[in-house]
Every structure is written in structure tokens, then in C-alpha cells.
Structure 1
Amino acid sequence: MTAYRGFGRFLGAGLLAAATLAAGGCSSIRESRGFIVDPTLTNSIAAGVDNKQSVQAALGHPSFESQFGDPTWYYVSSVNQRRPFVRPRIGTHAVLAVHFDSAGNVSSVERSGIDKVVYLTPDGDKTPTLGRERGFFEDLFGNIGAVGAPGAQGPAGP
């Protein structure tokens, strides 16, 4: 009977160790993407005090810059949480937008988070476009007669 009790304790300890290892394998994985936020540095950027050089010295090169309108630098940070065999989820998401005036000085600083993220669902494998539907044969033979037709603009010859 004593040998059986020792075996039961050994078996119980083995099952506990196996359960602990299995639970450790199912923990979530955190992936940081983009700009790594340092609250001390991001809070130090002030309108009217900093310029492009000081912002780049403090935060580094932006994730991307605006192409239209006022010059704006965007610092995008995202932390995804992923569990094994499950799609990744966005845990935290932050965007720091630093707006500059025409002289290159900081005019304003905006912070936004996950509340402004838009989730898009693609519509299958087709992209809706304006215009009319054309069939295979219309695509194949649609240009016959269009070249050199009366009224068509062609190169002016002598």
C-alpha cells in the first residue's frame, strides 16, 4: 500500500508539471510594431517650442509624413496580442501626429488611439468599379473598327 501511495504522488506531480508546461505553451505573444512609445519623450514635444530638427532628435524619423496640406509627421505604434492558432488582435494602438507650420516649427500635437481605427472587410475577390460590365468577346473584339474610324483623332500627316 505504501508503494501505491508513493506512485500516486509521483503521478500527481507529473500531471501537475505537464499541465503547467501545457498552459505555458498557450500564453499569448505580444508583438510591437512601428514606433515604440516613450511617454517621457512624446510628452516633451510642445507647440511653439520645438521644430523639425528637435522632434527628429527626440523621436527619430516618423512612420510616415503627410503628402498634402500642412506638413505633418505621424508616429504610429501598435501592439498585437496573438494566441496560438488564433488570429492576432490589436491590443493597443496609438498615433502621434505632429503638425508643423510653414517655418518648420511645431504648431500642434495630436494623440489618438484605437477609437479612430477603421476595420474594413473586403468584398470577396471583386473590386466594385464604376462603368459598365463587358464580356469576354466584347473585350476581345471591342476595338475592331475604332482605329482609323471617321472622326477619330489620329496623327496629322502631310
Structure 2
Amino acid sequence: MAVIRLAHAVLAAGPSLRRSGLALVLGVAIAACSPVIRNHGYVPAEDELAQVVVGSDTRETVGQKIGRPSTSGLLNDEGWYYVQSRYRHVGPRQPKEIERQVLAITFNQAGVVENIGRFGLEDGKVVEISRRVTETNVKGLNLIQQLLGNIGQFNPGMLQE
């Protein structure tokens, strides 16, 4: 809206100011549509990760060498997951994830590093970890149909234990 108001003000000005003003409005409009890159999360660099020795380091030593992750195993504490994403924002459009790195460090029962794996956006697919939508198991029936559907289905034997 501000760009439109500015354009109207420029058009109402004199001819010499019009050119300068239109150039300014065009510059503002182009700058508003330029992409903004945002980084989220943390994945240790290769030189930091080289300090971790598979079969030797424990949870404590990994935490001291490269830091603890913000995410660990969901159902059990067998792994640590470092996640970093890069998003591209352009104007009012929804952000698009353009890069993702996941570093997975798994531990055995004794807490010693068992495996280190690095995955990218191309290695996987979006997995929904948590869903906060309650779905009904009654499909296609409204409240009146549900109530009327129960009439005549009374069984006196259900009252006896």
C-alpha cells in the first residue's frame, strides 16, 4: 500500500520529479521482491566432527567436543540429531526450504558412539513427527443422522451383566 501511495504522489509532482520519483518507486518495488535467505538450526562443521571418534567417544565427550543438539531420539535416547535448514523468502510468498542437513549420531547401549551419518534434503522426504488434528471416525453423518441411526438398536440383554 505504501508503494502505491508513493506512486500516486510521484505522478502528481512535476515532470522532472516524476522521473526521479518513478525510479525511486521502481527501486523500492524491486527491493521488496528480492529474496531473503534465513538459516535455522545448527550442524557441526566437518573439522569439528572429525574430533568425534566412532567406537571411542561417549555422549559426554561428544557434548564437550561439538555441543549437545536441540533434538534427540524421540522414542528412545539412542541418537542425537543436529538439524540445519535454509529457507528462501520472496515477498509475501510462503518460505521455501532450499537446503537441509541432518547429522545423526547414534549410540549403543553403553552410550558409546556407534555411527555418524549426514543427510541432505535430497536424501529423504518430509516426515510428520507430530500432528495436532483430531479426526473423527464417523464419516459422512451429521448429528441428527447419528441420533436417529441408534433408534431401534436397543437390546435388553445389554442391561444384564
RMSD: 4.0
Instruction: Give the Cα–Cα distance (whole angstroms) in 1 for the partners of residues 140 and 28 of structure 2.
Output: 58
| Residue matched to 1:86 | 93
| Residue matched to 1:53 | 60
* C-alpha displacement of 1:27: 2.2
Do structure 1's residue 107 and structure 2's residue 111 form an aligned pair? no
| Residue matched to 1:7 | none
Instruction: Give the Cα–Cα distance (whole angstroms) in 2 for the partners of residues 36 and 137 of structure 1.
Output: 55
* C-alpha displacement of 1:149: 4.5
Moved more, 42-51 or 91-100: 42-51
Query: What TM-score results when the alignment is normalised by the length of structure 1?
Result: 0.64
Unaligned runs of 5+ in 2: 1-16, 128-132
Instruction: Give runs of aligned pairs for residues 26-37 of structure 1, distance below 5 A.
Output: 26-37=33-44
Tell me the amino acid that sits aligned with residue 89 of structure 2: R
Q: Which has the larger radius of gyration?
A: 1
| Residue matched to 1:4 | none
Tell me the amino acid that sits aligned with residue 57 of structure 1: Q
Instruction: Give the Cα–Cα distance (whole angstroms) in 1 for the partners of residues 139 and 27 of structure 2.
Output: 61
Do structure 1's residue 62 and structure 2's residue 69 form an aligned pair? yes
Unaligned runs of 5+ in 1: 1-9, 121-125
* C-alpha displacement of 1:22: 4.5
Tell me the amino acid that sits aligned with residue 144 of structure 2: F
Tell me the amino acid that sits aligned with residue 81 of structure 1: R
Moved more, 15-24 or 106-115: 15-24
* C-alpha displacement of 1:150: 1.8
Instruction: Give the Cα–Cα distance (whole angstroms) in 2 for the partners of residues 133 and 18 of structure 1.
Output: 53
Instruction: Give the Cα–Cα distance (whole angstroms) in 2 for the partners of residues 81 and 142 of structure 1.
Output: 52
* C-alpha displacement of 1:138: 4.5
Task: Say how many residue pairs are matched.
Answer: 142
| Residue matched to 2:78 | 71
Q: Is the 8 A contact 1:37 1:77 kept in 2?
A: no
Instruction: Give runs of aligned pairs for residues 119-138 of structure 1, distance below 5 A.
Output: 119=126, 133-138=140-145
Instruction: Give the Cα–Cα distance (whole angstroms) in 1 for the partners of residues 36 and 56 of structure 2.
Output: 39
* C-alpha displacement of 1:31: 1.4
Instruction: Give the Cα–Cα distance (whole angstroms) in 2 for the partners of residues 153 and 33 of structure 1.
Output: 61
Instruction: Give the Cα–Cα distance (whole angstroms) in 1 for the partners of residues 89 and 139 of structure 2.
Output: 43
